[in-house]
Chains A and B, each alone.
Chain A
Amino acid sequence: MSPQRIAAIGVDAGSTTCKVVAVTPTGAIAAWRLERGLPRIEEQTAALVDDLLAECPDASVDVRIVATGYGRKLVGRAERSVTEITCHARGVFQSTGHGGTLLDVGGQDSKVIQIGHDGRVLDFAMNDKCAAGTGRFLEHTAARLDVPLDELGPRSCAAPSEQAISSTCTVFAESEIISLIAHGVPLDGILRGLHRSLVSRLVAMVRTLGVRPPVMLSGGVARNTAVRALLEQDLGIAVEVPPHPQLMGAFVAALLALHTSGSDLDSMHGATRTPGFQILK
């Protein structure tokens, strides 16, 4: 593959992972990086950006950068920052071409975002004071049970039974699970119950804002097949997962850097739909 010209870069410094996406002048993804987030956000993002620029020799060193995610204010080279709520909403709109209800489940945050027919955020709700309805809930218990993160979804989907997990607290759920295992309950059924517990919290949050079809899922947890399947079951509606849901925030940050100047977010409205997640490499 020949190196692509980089026109702009988006950085999503999330609570769990750090994502960097470089786009071409037409808005297609030229290259991307995804790493577990380190405490020194400024250094990590700078290194990732340098890495991308090195891969694409055609890129200018003063390429425009926009940051999003929890650590967005710490991305020293970013010309400005935008919250991940706006980014994910715009990203879904850019890649699907329609609005609806977006459920973005990240490492430490869950958000329900209602998106209008023009891609604008109409309303949103976020989890507060508790990480039980987030990716951390699954990550924490998977680590405790020594199950690789990638296996969580498939094993839960294939489980012949489901063990109810009554606790909605990550820490208490862990002790509950240990007790269940000690009593000989099959692990896969426990995993499925764990997913159900997470999904029930997400569904409750969706219902506070109301379902505005279609329903979409983004964020790192969207890669988990069981979460999507159980969401569809509990909501009674199909759940759409856009391509590369975990990169959505960084991708839109890159598009914002590409399309807009100053703080004018609106200039992205009505912009020609970009090729989106048509990864060129």
Chain B
Amino acid sequence: MNLPAQLSYAVGYGLVGKAALWRQRRKDERAILARMRQPSGQLLAPPLLSSARMKELMSRHYLQARYATGVRKVAWVTSGAPVEILQALGFLLIYPENHAALCGARRKAVDMCVEAEHAGYSRDLCSYARTDIGTVISGKAPITRIPKPDLLLCCTNICQTVLYWYRVLAHHFKVPLIVIDTPFLFEEAQAHQIDFVKQQLEEAIPVAEQVAGRTLSFPTLKDVVHAGKRASELWLEVLNRAQHRPAPITAFDGFTNMGPIVDLRGEPETIRFYETLLAEVDRRIETGVGAVANERMRVLWDNLPIWYRMGWLSGLLAQRGVSIVASDYTYAWGELAPMMDPDRPIESAARVYLHPILNRSTGNKLHSMRRMAKDFQCDGVILHSDRSCKPYSLGQIAQRDWLANEVGVPAFLLEADHSDSRAFSEEQAGNRLEAFIELMEARG
């Protein structure tokens, strides 16, 4: 028992921090309500009231992390990792990718990337990896202090970069690394592939138990899976509401509000948050409020967002009446919900974590995009060619051609990077986007 750490946690997080964040939320809510009362005429609807709650939840998570050392066991995990086992064992989960995205959105990522580059890491490496490695080796806290991990969990279902990235972390922190290797799926998962992943999860349990210093409780694991499934279902419902015309939310709302489904999946509070968000989105539908005031064209977004230019991009598009109504990226955290089975937590986790979009063939992604373009009645598709995310960007030229020529939906490649703003040129991107909008306008 580390008493000073316990005390610091109880005061800094439990007593002072949570109350301060609650007050901040009330203040944010009042500001949003004031904007809602202003006369209309804006290009974009006021922010969702729920976004204040989202900010509180995520800030609380990072605040808790700041005081966690010596109080709670900490695991750093990849964004597609089977985290339910760790949650049931009481680990506090840190998602370096989410932290890197926050750094990107707050324009702090490049400084951290440069730290990694100065240490010899190639600029061709993913900017999330560089941001994280740069943060670790420099010891800086660009946004908030992240606690050191006691355990690392890396799942290869999103890319192969994580394999090497987490080896760097394991070497640096000298802590155990669990690797869950998910075979790439060209078709549906075969029984032997599910068994292969299931076996790895079973082997991971004693390693995680040893670090946690406790035994896994299967009833707790069942509850965590149940909560994660419910939150994922709600998330999918929220996103699907954008099928309405005008769309009550855009993909930008999705990008902003996806934090809890990624970082806090399996927590009861996450379910309550998405219930509230869904109710608010439904109110927008009832009252005919569109996220883009004058929605004339609807677009599907492929790949990660450009975190450091979200405001610029949403403003440019809204000015021309373009609403990005869906994104296959945000959808990825909802579409696998039906596969989750609280009664068979390990086996269903093996199945779920084999099926993320990035662990499946480019043909599967193409069919998903085609289905989404139809379901969300899209007039065009923007494919963000993300210099950092090779697996997501692979095949985009063929996908673009197929969408444009075979499906008949105008499609456009936008070159950028999710976090490294040095790979983005606003002038060039804006020019191409405007030309694409003119192309869609001319089709009527």
Residues on A lying within 8 angstroms of B by beta carbon are: 70, 82-86, 120-124, 126, 128-129, 208, 265-266
Contact = CB atoms under 8 A, between A and B. Distances in A.
8 contacts: A85-B438, A86-B438, A121-B435, A123-B410, A124-B439, A265-B441, A265-B442, A266-B441
Contacts of A128: 415, 428
A136 B401 CA distance: 29
How large, as a class, is the contact surface on chain B? 10 to 19
A126 B410 contact: no
A264 to B, nearest CB: 9
B397 interface: yes
Given A126-B432, A128-B415, A129-B415, A82 B427 contact: no
B293 to A, nearest CB: 16
A86 B425 CA distance: 21
Contact of B397 (A124, A126, A208): A208
B4 interface: no
B45 to A, nearest CB: 22
Contacts of A126: 432, 435
B443 interface: yes
Among all A-B residue pairs, the 7 with the closest Cβ atoms: A85-B435, A83-B435, A120-B442, A86-B438, A128-B415, A121-B439, A83-B434
Interface string B413-441: 00100000000010110011011101101
Nearest to A124: B435
B442 A121 contact: yes
B435 A86 contact: yes
Contact of A120 (B397, B435, B443): B443
Contacts of A123: 404, 410, 439
A84 B404 CA distance: 21
A48 to B, nearest CB: 22
Given A128-B428, A266-B444, A121 B415 contact: no
Contacts of B425: 129
A266 B442 contact: yes
Contacts of B442: 86, 120-121, 265-266
Contacts of B444: 266
Please indicate which of the listed interface residues B427, B431, B436 has the most CB atoms of chain A within 10 Å of its own CB: B431
A164 B438 CA distance: 39
A122 B435 CA distance: 11
Given A128-B415, A266-B442, A70 B427 contact: yes
Contact of B438 (A129, A208, A265): A265
B76 to A, nearest CB: 33
A13 to B, nearest CB: 12
Given A123-B410, A129-B415, A83 B438 contact: yes
A124 B380 CA distance: 14
Given A83-B435, A85-B435, A128-B428, 13 more contacts: A70-B427, A83-B438, A86-B438, A86-B439, A86-B442, A120-B442, A121-B442, A122-B439, A124-B435, A124-B436, A208-B397, A265-B438, A265-B442
Please indicate which of the listed interface residues B397, B432, B442 has the most CB atoms of chain A within 10 Å of its own CB: B442
Contacts of B441: 265-266
Nearest to A81: B434
